[in-house]
Amino acid sequence: MNKIITISREYGSGGHTIGQKTAEILGIPFYDKEIIDMSAKDSGLSPDFIQKTEQNISSGWLYTLLLGASYASPGTSSRLGMSTQAPAVPLADQVFNAQRKVIIELAKKGPCVIVGRCSDYILRHCDEINPDNLLNIFIYAPMEDKVKRAIEQKGLDPATAEKEVKLIDKRRANHYNTFTERTWGNRIHYDLLINSSLVGVENTAMMIAQIAQHC
């Protein structure tokens, strides 16, 4: 099995757990939150900052302006990214580029499962990765099931759970659409789209593992 499996997922669809179980079945590494720590080490940004902002930034320059700080190239004198030598790289771009570098390095090591962070797009456009070794998957589910899972597993307030699920999905879509110039969830960008409610989390993971072994 030489597949690098990327999993994009709607919030509350069980995508994280499905990815984790798929990796366990195949006996390969699984990466999700681990990418945050690796990216932090590479970029110098804090893990907490990356975690809080990685899906909340659709306009890098605006976010940098609001923070009133930037991590610019040497010689930068302005806290708003106005360098006397070269423009500062927006924080949003720094986060994305750091994660991109980590994702490529992880994929180069061999078969693995990577969740989110535009990994399908990043690896599809990386010359160092054989596109035949990629299996890009999108996990979705009916709203009522996503809300139920978010309440039970994520601890969301039942009174506002549906609103929160929609908001997080919107943020994920904005992030993906901004950095890839694609449309999040559009079937033409994935090898497989799966309704996790159809057969359940366990069976979805088994199905992905079987496909990865035979395609």
**Element containing residue 19 per DSSP (H, E):** helix 15-26
- State both tokens at 120: 């399908």
pLDDT band at 50 (very low <50, low <70, confident <90, very high): confident
As beta bridge partners, residue 112 has 4
Please, how many CA atoms are within 13 Å of residue 111, restricted to the half-sphere of its CB? 15
Task: Write out pLDDT tens, residues 136-178.
Answer: 999 999 999 999 999 998 899 999 999 999 999 999 999 999 8
Written as one letter, the residue type at 214 is H
State residue 121 phi and psi, 5-degree precision: -70, -45
- State both tokens at 86: 């070269």
pLDDT band at 86 (very low <50, low <70, confident <90, very high): very low
What is the full DSSP assignment across 109-176? HSSEEEESTTHHHHHHT-TTS-GGGEEEEEEE--HHHHHHHHHHHS---TTTHHHHHHHHHHHHHHHH
pLDDT at 82 over 70: no
Task: Write out pLDDT tens, residues 109-122.
Answer: 999 999 999 999 99
Q: What was the pLDDT predicted at 75?
A: 40
Contact 199, 181 (CB under 8 A): no
3-state helix, strand, coil in the chain (%, to 5): 55, 10, 35
Kindly give the interhelix angle for 201-214 and 15-26, rounded to the nearest 10 degrees: 50
